[in-house]
Structure 1
Amino acid sequence: MHSKPTVLIAAPNLATCLQLERAFKQSNYHAVTTHHEAELSKQIQHCVQRACVFILHYQYYQNLAQPLRHSQPLLLLVDSASAELIDILPNPTSDFVLSQAAPIEIITRLEILLRRCSQAAPSNLVQPNSPMTASYQALALTGAEHALLELLAQHPNTVLSKEYLCSHGLQRTYTPGERSIDVHISRIRQKLTDALGQTSPIKSVRNRGYIYSPPHEPINKPTHK
């Protein structure tokens, strides 16, 4: 019996599928792959009722006749040209990674996503008995959002640059001019505002990055990263 979940991998390129299948099997996952879009629906019907996770090319996901369950962990493979077009991920248990990423990076991102799916909220945001705990648990963060919020919360009252957030939160190199960090932070801020019923504790610092100031705590002079 496999100790890790079954992973269904679907991408247009056969070489990519085989490379990922080999890498996941070496990491003790049971991997099922397909590069034929016509076979994907049948594979999904077989896997969707089981404890499976999905790694799908964004092109395939867009064409799915049957949507995945809301709680099904999903990692989308996107091309660099389309990465910033994903303004709304399918569900709170989804995330995306560049399709050109190395297999080890894709495995790492999936494992981060699975850990995030099993957690209600970053543990260091509030004290265990804080009345805000329930509000944070209702955030329904994606994997990337959880990682960024946790990173900001680990450095309260400190300005973190987009480069730092990208490399330490998303585990990849920041490309000057890209908007992915801004999109993620915008979603997090809206979720925090809705959950807490007050202005988001994450603020934008022009030309420098973002800062997390814990609610009801004074803002000290920030340290730059």
Structure 2
Amino acid sequence: MQILEYDLVTFPVTNARILCVEDDADIARMLAEVLQDSGFRPVLVGSAVQMDALLKRESFDLIVLDVMLPGEDGLSICRRLRASSSIPIIMVTARGEDIDRILGLELGADDYVTKPFNSRELVARIRALLRRVESGAAARSRPRPLTFAGWRINPTTRELHDPAGVRITLTGAEFDLLLAFCRNPGQVLSREQLIEQAFGGLIASVERSIDVHISRIRQKIEPDPKDRSMIKTVRLGGYVFTPAVEQL
């Protein structure tokens, strides 16, 4: 792959700040134009090195992250970001590379689009992710924490604590899914219902995305991930959250 070097480009607009990590200069500038026309404030960088330098001094509302990058690739970057940040991440993958999409979700990406992508779809996915973040902030004065099996989930602070009081890191998508389960304990929820309740009806086009997110939640909350006693799969039905849930 040819490594392209270009200067950092910013565009004065009015809305959320979007960091685009894309080494193809033509695609990057197209992204910037689409996002700017949609009212966002895009910033372009071409590598992990540029991204890291920028994140040390500036904050962003969302990251659009290409998988194929010079030096450190997008999957490695996603894993590293998730170790310390819950910023929404949309992965950009090559068409047909299912393994990249699945790995991206398993490493903590919130959503993905495939190249060549429809600009309207990308903008819709960005807006959907940002709405989830905004709705969580707007709800701070309303919902009370919920508890299940000794765990505590707080919709206000968007935090999850285990029975020992240790905070467990969740991605935005994982938190929204677990909260949807906690608000519907004992009910069989189809993938379509989970998509509607947790994501407002918009997520990556394949249902596999839900399965990957739920697999990651299980790894974090199940006493025995192989037993799946908290989130059970209902054949031909979906999933059911089995613990009793109480509001504090």
Band the TM-score falls in, shorter-chain normalisation? 0.5 to 0.7
The answer to whether the Cα contact below 8 Å between 2:188 and 2:240 also exists between their aligned partners in 1 is yes
Report the 3-state secondary structure (helix = DSSP H, G, I; strand = E; otherwise coil) of the residue aligned with 2:147. coil
Q: 1:135 aligns with which of 151, 162, 174?
A: 162
* Corresponding position of 1:126: 147
* Corresponding position of 2:111: 96
List structure 1 runs of 4+ shifted beyond 6 angstroms. Answer: 2-5, 114-117
* Cα shift at 1:135: 1.4
* Corresponding position of 1:56: 65
Q: 2:19 aligns with which of 8, 16, 32?
A: 8
Residue segments in structure 2 that go unaligned for 5+ positions in a row? 1-12, 153-160
Greater share of strand residues, 1 or 2? 2
* Corresponding position of 1:213: 242
The answer to whether the Cα contact below 8 Å between 2:188 and 2:238 also exists between their aligned partners in 1 is yes
Report the 3-state secondary structure (helix = DSSP H, G, I; strand = E; otherwise coil) of the residue aligned with 1:52. coil
Q: TM-score, normalised by structure 1?
A: 0.67
Q: Distance in 2 between matches of 1:124 and 1:158?
A: 20
Q: Distance in 1 between matches of 2:76 and 2:238?
A: 40
- Report the AA paired with residue 22 of structure 1: D
* Cα shift at 1:151: 1.4
* Corresponding position of 1:84: 102
Q: TM-score, normalised by structure 2?
A: 0.62
Report the 3-state secondary structure (helix = DSSP H, G, I; strand = E; otherwise coil) of the residue aligned with 1:59. coil
* Cα shift at 1:88: 2.8
Structural RMSD (CA) = 4.0
Q: 2:202 aligns with which of 172, 189, 199?
A: 172
* Cα shift at 1:5: 6.2
Q: 1:138 to 1:200 in 2, by over 3 A?
A: farther
Residue segments in structure 1 that go unaligned for 5+ positions in a row? 218-225
The answer to whether the Cα contact below 8 Å between 2:185 and 2:245 also exists between their aligned partners in 1 is no
Q: 1:63 to 1:193 in 2, by over 3 A?
A: closer
Residue 203 (1) aligns with residue 232 (2)? yes
